[in-house]
Chain A
Amino acid sequence: MTVTAEDLTRQATEFLASHDPHDTAPLDFLRARFDAGLAWIHFPAGLGGQNAPRALQSVVDEVFTEAGAPDNNPRRIGIGLGMAAPTILAFGTPEQRERFLRPLWTGEEVWCQLFSEPGAGSDLAALGTRAVRDGDDWIVTGQKVWTSGAHESQWAILVTRTDPDVPKHQGMTYFLCDMTAPGVEVRPLRQITGEAEFNEVFLTEVRIPDTQRLGAVGEGWKVAQTTLMNERVAIGGHVQPREGGLIGIVAKTWRERPELRTPELRDRLVQHWVEAETLRLAGTRLRQQLTAGAPGPEGSAMKVAFSELNQALTGLEVELLGEEGLAYDDWSFRRPAIVDFTGREAGYRYLRAKGNSIEGGTSEVLRNIIAERVLGLPSEPRVDKDVAWKDLPR
């Protein structure tokens, strides 16, 4: 029996009747919502869901939003929700699912991601953080980078090298790492914007119990693929109104500041307006495909187009501001909890947008993915495929 939108609306309404959101402590409310199977409805029963179609999540969320119920601040726990949770669900033991999923969803435990390393960016499978077995534990030593939210996280998903003698994709193992364990050191990584949105994480003989291993020894790459696939789903899913993104900010400035206008800037602005609108439509279309149960391969293409547009548009915005573009709001070394593209000024947006074509898959890697997986063109030569990890040039 498939659950329908009506069933879910009724369940959510009944839940609200017995748990007054204004009269229940937020954490208690969220825990109860999880236990009622109304958290992430496509998850299994007992783990916050009821195996319902994922497309109906918005039905439930709307009922709770309209009732003014507390939410789990999804932007703050995005990595947990979007990456850690689906991976734990797919590969976790019953004990691991039971232990981690509930506090992850309620936001009691924040998660970060320990994947990239200074020597393993686009080529993530080259990573070298070593995990060595020691009785019932593993001893982990290495350096991770580009970890957003590491300083606020209790837990991390971590990929390590457990066998350096086999080719790079084979010798990896995936762990759930306690960020408060001895040997975990988080250092802010200052960016060109002045702030430190990311961290470097140094792991020095960190002891991780084997019960926190996710998936089999040597299967880390397979587990990591699940995490990364879910990252793309999470990125692609948002539907915006017209002028909902950065274009809205620039268009507003344009309307309010006639003294800044020139014909040449107007041509470029209208071009970008068209690009933003078609990108929005393509995002809406992708979302409609997902809802109809036929996800397409368009996500990578949209990420490429989004990066280019953001960079062009933020560049235009600084130029449009003229004299004001010569000033910057704040270079001070801060550690923001979330990236705030709209809360800062044009110069910040311009600088931050430079990262859009690097983070979450560089545009060049994404173009390879489109060419190879969507268009079926020959793969790039893989000279490292049959070489033991320890023998790779670096």
Chain B
Amino acid sequence: MSDLLYSDVEEDLRASVRDLLKDKASAEALLARVETAEPYDLKLWRTLADEVGVAGLAVPEELGGHGASAREVAVVAEELGRSVAPVPFLGSVVLATTALVHVGAREFVGRLATGQAIGALAVPLSTAPGAGFPSSVTVSAEGTLTGRVGTVADASVADLLVVPAAGPDGPALYVVEASAAAVSELVSFDLTRRVADVRFSDTPATLVAAGPEAAAALEQALLFGAGILASEQTGVAEWALTETVRYLKGRYQFGRPVGGFQSLKHRLANLYTDLVLARAAARNAADALATGTDVPIAVAVAQARNAPIAVHATEEAIQLHGGIGMTWEHPAHLYLKRAKADEIALGTPGRHRARLAELVDLPA
């Protein structure tokens, strides 16, 4: 039976992350940053790595990490979702590090686990678990990489790129120093998590796994990512509900708080109901990833359910805020953009449902 609660240790971790973010990732600061040359807050990232140890949270101690599990990573993701903090947590900790831990690439994992280096997994962010191994990057006889990968999350601040490539003997996983590749950040729909085009042209690379091991490492990273993303979506939805409730209690029209009108109360009650379900699904996915039990089903369920819940909650936040919700100065749009991008990230709900249908034997 999955443990769907938060342990005391997990609650302590949440409190430290939340405290830090409250000071350093306020909505005003976020908005001020999104149109500057430094959309990522790398100072905050280093603080999170140094003070809370988020970079190496789920890395085994013998590889230089803290030896925690997906459950703790999920709690951090939830808090980062609540503040849409512009830090490369998904790309580095959740995706790149997971792939490298899987293949035991000690030296690279060591650099990522301390937060000294930032990583990114060179696949389009829309890649779903169970997708075929990518072939857009090829390997030369000398072992250099050539090819292009679009919409790589967090690549524009990465030092290390973990690159699935089509090697001479099938799937292979390489690590490339980002400075050796051409990385260009796209104008991203999600303002607080950027995607970038990554091009390789006879780029020197280090082989870390080949064959089935490379494929398994990629699949593990994608499953881990999709499962953890469900917690981020829970955090996003929770912010949308909490902030909307707060606003509607204080906004007066017709001589009373608009939060007292039943049509609005019921919409908020529906968001609360969704949040109860999203939290259970996210905790179940995190626990499954931590114990290695029932992972594909738990992840598919959580993504199929939580992605639309986060989108709906942030859409409702915009609507229920009225005019102010449509303005650039109010942070609600940052959450809507994150939720909508998250819906595509690591497999759309439809893809996860299709996969689930196979997993639980509901044939076409």
Contact = CB atoms under 8 A, between A and B. Distances in A.
Nearest to B354: A270
A261 B364 contact: yes
Main SS of chain B's interface residues? helix
Contacts of B354: 270
Given A281-B280, A376-B245, A263 B4 contact: no
Given A258-B363, A278-B301, 8 more contacts: A267-B353, A270-B357, A271-B353, A273-B360, A274-B356, A281-B277, A375-B268, A377-B245
B138 interface: no
Contacts of A371: 265-266, 268-269
Contact of A376 (B249, B270, B281): B249
Interface in B267-297: 268-270, 272-273, 276-281, 283-284
Interface string A162-182: 000000000000000000000
Contacts of A378: 249, 256-257, 259-260
Interface residues of B, number: 41
Contacts, number: 123
A241 B7 CA distance: 24
Interface in B291-330: 301, 304-305
A377 B249 CA distance: 6
A231 interface: no
A266 interface: yes
B287 to A, nearest CB: 10
A26 B5 CA distance: 40
21 contacts: A261-B363, A266-B362, A266-B364, A270-B354, A273-B356, A278-B301, A279-B277, A281-B2, A281-B281, A281-B284, A281-B301, A282-B277, A305-B276, A371-B269, A375-B269, A376-B245, A376-B249, A377-B245, A377-B268, A378-B259, A379-B260
Interface residues of A, number: 43
Given A251-B362, A275-B305, A377 B284 contact: no
Nearest to A263: B364
Interface in B242-261: 245, 248-249, 256-257, 259-260
Given A273-B356, A278-B305, A367-B265, A375 B273 contact: no
Task: Give 6 nearest A-B pairs by CB, closest first.
Answer: A378-B260, A371-B265, A367-B269, A285-B4, A282-B280, A370-B269
Contacts of B360: 251, 273
